């Protein structure tokens, strides 16, 4: 089963940063674009997307269950963008997997010997808890 995350985060930086063995944050932020998207969940999660550009421009599109609605455009100081980009490098963001999948296991009931497949769900993919017997 593929994991479709509630949070999708993408950071695009000039290709020269990726060519280095241990890349460092770019000095020129003009090519930096950071996108965060929060998608619907099983509950009442806010649904929105945020795009942050290296020049400090933020575009927020709030769709559901959020204090803001519609499109909001704001600007922040460039040093804040530099700090954010540095955090991506500090956590080694670029070594993270593109896709994380849930896992399934075969389990055996020790009392009955019955075999059953159990799935390890990720994040919001949890199914309702079955009634206790």
Predicted TM-score of the model (pTM): 0.60
pLDDT at 19 over 50: no
Q: Is 60 exposed, middle or buried (0-12, 13-18, 19+ CB in 10 A)?
A: middle
Q: How do residues 62-97 score in pLDDT, each as one tens digit?
A: 987 667 789 999 999 999 999 999 999 999 988 888
The residues spanned by each domain of the chain are 7-95
Q: What letters, b where the CB count within 10 A reaches 16 and e where it falls short, cover 25-45? A: bbeebeebebeebbeeeeeee
The sign of the CA dihedral 56, 57, 63, 69 is: positive
Looking at residue 49, its pLDDT comes to 92
């Amino acid at each position: 089963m593929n994991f479709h995350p509630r949070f999708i985060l993408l950071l695009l930086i000039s290709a020269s940063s990726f060519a280095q063995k241990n890349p460092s944050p770019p000095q020129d932020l003009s090519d930096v674009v950071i996108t965060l998207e929060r998608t619907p969940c099983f509950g009442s999660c806010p649904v929105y997307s945020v795009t942050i550009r290296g020049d400090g421009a933020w575009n927020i599109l709030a769709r559901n269950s959020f204090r803001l609605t519609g499109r909001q455009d704001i600007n922040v100081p460039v040093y804040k963008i530099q700090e954010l980009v540095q955090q991506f490098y500090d956590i080694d963001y670029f070594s993270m997997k593109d896709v994380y999948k849930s896992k399934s296991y075969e389990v055996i009931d020790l009392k009955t010997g019955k075999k059953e497949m159990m799935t390890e769900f990720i994040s919001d993919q949890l199914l309702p808890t079955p009634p206790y017997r």
